[in-house]
Amino acid sequence: MTRSTAVLVLALAGMPAPVDLESRALILQPASVLPAWIAGCWSGTRDSERFHERWTLVDDSTLLGVSHTVKGGKMTAFEFLRVIVKDGKAVYVAQPGGVPPTEFVASSTTAERIVFENPTHDFPKRVIYQRSGADRLTASIDGGPVNKQQRLEFAMTREECGK
């Protein structure tokens, strides 16, 4: 039974349909440029580091995020993040270590991937989020189309928020 068939059956029976976080985001964002599918808690590991991102869908034009990295039981990095809608485009706003914000404007968007760019920034020039299904997300940063070899990837899986 497909989800839409199940929702129809529940509606005919007078029962409310279950709404998961991703469906809620899609309901709130039917025609938005905001990548609401990022909402949730994500974590991954690389070498001896563990990194976490937590994204909250605040309203129809704002995702609010925070990330941190832990190595050897100690936090080694943190970042305040936002994705906002500005002039009809999604804009990724990064503040690593709490420094003043840097904006990256969406240059390419699909249902599974969004690319943010700031060609005038030293590094990174691009921030890319790619989802694989509902439970896998890869964030990557690189030096832009000319310098793709300078690239870092952060493969993450969805986790329960509050861990």
| Lowest mean per-residue pLDDT among 45-59, 89-103, 117-131, 145-159 | 145-159
113 with 124: CB under 8 angstroms? Answer: no
The CA dihedral of 140, 81, 22, 75, to the nearest 10 degrees, is 80
Q: Is 147 contained in some domain?
A: yes
Calculate ∠ Cα 121-125-127, nearest 5°: 130
Number of separate domains in the chain: 1
CATH number at residue 87: 2.40.128.20
pLDDT above 80: residue 132: yes
Q: Which residues face 126 on adjacent strands?
A: 117, 142
Q: Is 62 contained in some domain?
A: yes
Q: Is 15 contained in some domain?
A: no
Q: What is the average per-residue pLDDT within 93-105?
A: 97
What is the spatial distance between Cα 54 and Cα 64, in angstroms, rounded to a whole number? 8
**Residue numbers of the domain that contains 147:** 34-159
Alpha helices, DSSP H, located in the chain: 3-12, 21-28
138 with 38: CB under 8 angstroms? Answer: no
Q: Is 9 contained in some domain?
A: no
Q: Is 3 contained in some domain?
A: no
Q: Is 26 contained in some domain?
A: no
- pTM of the entire predicted model: 0.80
pLDDT above 80: residue 27: no
Q: How is residue 12 annotated by DSSP?
A: H
Share of the chain above pLDDT 70, in %: 80
Tokens read off for 159: 């986790």
Q: Tens of pLDDT along 31-62?
A: 579 999 999 999 999 999 999 999 999 999 99
Q: Is 29 contained in some domain?
A: no
Quick one: pLDDT at residue 15? 41
